[in-house]
């Protein structure tokens, strides 16, 4: 009943007062029974299926929680709806289990003891026998008395293969179902955009061969505060409503009339993808493995004749993309990359989970999941930092000193380590620099400005940064822990960690002990930190890796 209590706590005072004035109904727990009604028990692949949950002999229902299991290999959950317009509803899904919670149920059941508890919508994915099972129903009355019902009611759905050929005519699909896909284009109807949201997202599923989605020009109004999620077997796009507003804001009603929003995600041909990867390998001097397709994305507002009214080159809010990847991919060396026309690669990000790579993008162009292996002749596989350097090089956090060398034992400057931190933790923002030894044209000027503004680094004085000075281990750890705090929050002071703590500068002691307590840094020998020792490039790479992995 945790979900019910959580939603009940969200009720407003006004809603509670209205509830107290409405006629209530008594709850007969012992006689309660439940049923599942399926709209189509013999669908074909891509058909929608609606499952309604009903309860009988339920009186005085103030709130309830329904749990339903299904087979995600055969069915795709597209959304759940509450039973009426009153109260609060939450629908969540995780690993084949759907939880639908509804509170403040204001219906009057004095004359009818059969209540509709909600509906769930699925899309048939593959041929086979799919099962939908109601497993439990928890109910709370208006005195906050709770009753749990363990239920074991299943409905089987026989999914047939999608018929080939033209097929016949007919009266069209049910309300909320999209128009058929034609020539790789999926047209989203107003009804489909108005489907109930699931966890703040209106979910639209498209077939694997779709390369373009057309949305109504008033999609921002139809979505309200929700995101739009486009799902296919190969990718998923989470599009914030603010991005759609960015595209359409400022345009007149006449401009929007008879226009549609066109979202394209067209995979490159095999020849074009091969050419793009070849250019990327030549530019990066790395071994690149393509994991899936290279997609060319675009977002525009178009007229019925195909002419473009507006398009976006940069987003005020990012789109989240999920790309399916081959099972053979090495997640440590893979990520989502932006591929420029000249072959230059830009690592965007990449969180790997359940066969998908996920990242946020702030502009559209060509993107793909790539496994990048950058080898350096002076970092053999047996080097203690080889794996770390290889992984950070794939993510473009560390670079070589040449196309083939890394120089792991070379010292690191203050400017170099500052730039490493800024790239690794994606620190943004910039301010005015007052250092006389940092010029606006210096390669490190922008990253130093970002780090200073974020409070990660200070100058040697108010006017001197000393960018080319070799960074000491205590300076490195101090900068690292300040950067760590911007991401994870400040850490409590730790006790003595090293036998040479008296050699650590007073301003660095707290940071050194915190880093040791979090296992972000180790001594150079047993119990010895060596605070004034000069940091090597391999050590800096390991410290950055530890921060990212913590």
Query: Is residue 500 assigned to a domain?
Result: yes
Does 354 share its domain with 408?
A: no
- 177 lies in a domain? no
Residues 359 and 401 in one domain: no
pLDDT at 182 (0 to 100): 67
Please tell me whether residues 204 and 266 are part of one structural domain: yes
Among positive and negative, which fits the CA dihedral 364, 369, 375, 380?
positive
Is residue 351 assigned to a domain?
A: yes
In this structure, the answer to whether residues 407 and 351 fall within a common structural domain is no
Per-residue pLDDT of the chain (550 residues; tens, 9 = 90+): 445 544 444 443 333 333 333 333 334 445 788 888 888 778 888 888 888 888 888 777 788 899 999 988 888 888 877 655 556 778 888 878 999 888 765 444 443 467 788 888 888 888 888 889 999 988 887 777 788 888 888 888 888 876 654 333 333 333 334 445 667 888 888 878 878 888 889 999 888 889 999 999 889 888 888 999 999 888 999 999 999 999 988 888 887 878 899 999 999 999 999 999 999 999 889 999 999 899 999 999 888 777 888 888 889 999 999 999 988 899 999 999 999 988 899 999 999 988 899 999 999 899 999 999 999 999 999 999 999 999 999 999 999 999 899 999 999 999 999 999 998 888 887 777 889 999 999 999 999 999 999 888 988 998 999 999 999 999 999 999 998 888 787 776 667 778 888 999 999 999 999 998 888 888 888 889 999 999 999 999 999 998 888 7
Across 279-376, the runs of DSSP E, i.e. the strands, are: 287-290, 295-303, 308-311, 319-324, 334-339, 345-349, 351-353, 356-361, 366-373
Q: Final residue of a domain: which of 313, 343, 373?
A: 373
Give the pLDDT of residue 235: 93
How far apart CA 4 and CA 136 sit, in angstroms, is: 14
CA nearest neighbour of 104 among 34, 14, 11: 11
Q: Are residues 258 and 199 in the same domain?
A: yes
pLDDT score for 25: 35
Domain annotation covers residue 199: yes
Within this chain, do residues 337 and 430 fall inside the same structural domain, yes or no?
no
Residue 64 is part of a domain; what is its CATH number? 2.60.40.680
- The widest CA-to-CA distance across the chain, in whole angstroms, is 86
Under a CB-based contact definition with an 8 Å cutoff, are residues 466 and 437 in contact?
Answer: yes
Report yes or no on 216 lying in a domain. yes
Query: In terms of domains, do 36 and 99 share one?
Result: yes
DSSP 513-532: HHHHHTTS---SBTTB--TT
Note whether residue 510 is domain-resident: yes
CATH assignment of the domain containing 269: 2.60.220
Token pair recorded at residue 458:
């200070």
326: Cβ contacts below 8 Å, ≥ 6 apart: 291, 292
Both 121 and 214 in a single domain? no
pLDDT of residue 174: 31
Residue 381 resides in a domain: no
pLDDT of residue 112: 47
Q: Check whether residue 34 and residue 80 sit in a common domain.
A: yes
Of 124, 159, 194, the position where a domain reaches its end is 159
Rounded to a whole number of angstroms, the distance between the first and last alpha carbons of the chain is 34
Q: Is the pTM of this model over 0.95?
A: no
Mapped to the 3 state alphabet, what secondary structure does 281-300 carry?
A: HHHHCCEEEECCCCEEEEEE
pLDDT value of position 22? 35
According to DSSP, the β-strands at 88-94 and 75-81 are unpaired
495-524, pLDDT tens digit by residue?
777 888 899 999 999 999 999 888 888 888
Q: Are 474 and 523 in contact (CB under 8 A)?
A: no
Residues 490 and 392 in one domain: yes
CA-closest candidate to residue 403, choices 395, 393, 411, 412: 393
Flag whether 176 is in a domain: no
What is the Cα–Cα distance from 386 to 407, expressed in whole angstroms? 12
Q: Are 22 and 108 in contact (CB under 8 A)?
A: yes
Structure tokens at 229: 């999620």
- Domain extent, residue 484, equals 386-549
208 and 102 both lie in a single domain: no
Residue that terminates a domain, selected from 373, 401, 424: 373
Based on the domain organization, do 397 and 367 belong to the same domain? no
- Which residues, in sequence order, are bridge partners of residue 298? 264
User: Would you state the pLDDT for residue 313?
Assistant: 80
Q: Could you please report the per-residue DSSP string of 229-294?
A: EEE-SSEEEEE-HHHHHHHHTT--HHHHTTEEEEEEEEEPPHHHHHHHHHHHHHHHTSEEEE-S--
Buried/exposed 260-274: b ≥16 CB within 10 Å, e otherwise? bbbbbbbbbeeeebe
Count of the separate structural domains present in the chain = 3
Whole-number pLDDT of residue 367: 95
Q: Residue for token digits 């560390």?
A: 398
């Amino acid at each position: 009943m945790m979900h019910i209590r959580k939603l009940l706590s969200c009720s407003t005072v006004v809603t509670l007062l209205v509830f107290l004035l409405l006629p209530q109904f008594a709850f007969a727990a012992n006689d309660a029974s439940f049923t599942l009604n399926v709209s189509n028990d013999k669908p074909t692949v891509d058909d929608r299926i609606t499952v309604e949950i009903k309860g009988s002999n339920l009186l005085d229902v103030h709130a309830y929680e329904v749990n339903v299991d299904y087979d995600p290999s055969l069915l795709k959950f597209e959304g759940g709806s509450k039973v009426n317009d009153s109260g609060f509803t939450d629908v969540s899904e995780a690993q084949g289990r759907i939880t639908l919670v509804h509170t403040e149920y204001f219906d009057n059941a004095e004359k009818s003891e059969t209540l509709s508890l909600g509906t769930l919508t699925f899309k048939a994915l593959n041929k086979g026998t799919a099962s939908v099972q109601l497993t439990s129903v928890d109910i709370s009355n208006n005195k906050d008395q709770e009753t749990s019902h363990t239920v074991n009611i299943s409905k089987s759905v026989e999914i047939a293969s999608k018929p080939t050929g033209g097929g016949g005519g007919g009266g069209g699909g049910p309300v909320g179902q999209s128009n058929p896909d034609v020539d790789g284009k999926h047209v989203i109807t107003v009804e489909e955009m108005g489907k109930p949201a699931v966890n703040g997202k209106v979910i639209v599923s498209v077939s694997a061969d779709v390369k373009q989605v057309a949305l109504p020009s008033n999609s921002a109004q139809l979505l309200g505060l929700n995101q739009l999620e486009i799902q296919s077997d190969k990718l998923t796009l989470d599009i914030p409503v603010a991005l759609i507003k960015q595209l359409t804001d400022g345009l007149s009603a006449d401009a929007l009339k008879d226009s549609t929003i066109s979202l394209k995600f067209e995979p490159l041909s095999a020849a074009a993808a091969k050419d793009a990867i070849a250019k990327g390998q030549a530019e990066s001097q790395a071994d690149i493995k393509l994991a899936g397709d290279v997609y060319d994305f675009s977002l525009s507002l178009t007229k019925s004749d195909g002419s473009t009214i507006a398009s976006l080159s940069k987003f005020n809010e990012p789109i989240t993309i999920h790309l399916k990847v081959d099972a053979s991919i090495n997640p440590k060396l893979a990520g989502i990359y932006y591929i420029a026309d000249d072959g230059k690669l830009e690592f965007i990000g990449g969180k790997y989970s359940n066969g998908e790579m996920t990242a946020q993008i702030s502009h559209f162009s060509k993107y793909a999941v790539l496994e990048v292996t950058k080898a350096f002749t002076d970092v053999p596989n047996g080097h203690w930092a080889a794996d770390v350097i290889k992984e950070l090089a794939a993510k473009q956090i560390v670079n070589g000193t040449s196309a083939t060398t890394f120089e792991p034992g070379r010292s690191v400057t203050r400017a170099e380590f500052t730039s490493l931190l800024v790239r690794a933790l994606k620190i943004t923002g910039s301010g005015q620099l007052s250092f006389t030894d940092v010029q606006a044209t210096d390669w490190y000027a922008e990253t130093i400005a970002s780090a200073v503004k974020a409070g990660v680094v200070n100058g040697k004085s108010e006017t001197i940064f000393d960018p080319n000075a070799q960074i000491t281990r205590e300076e490195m750890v101090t900068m690292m822990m300040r950067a760590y705090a911007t991401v994870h929050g400040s850490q409590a002071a730790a006790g003595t960690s090293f036998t040479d703590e008296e050699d650590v500068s007073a301003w660095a002691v707290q940071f050194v002990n915190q880093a040791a307590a979090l296992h972000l840094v180790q001594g150079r020998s047993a119990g010895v930190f060596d605070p004034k020792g000069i940091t090597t490039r391999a050590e800096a790479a390991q410290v950055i890796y530890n921060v990212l992995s913590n």
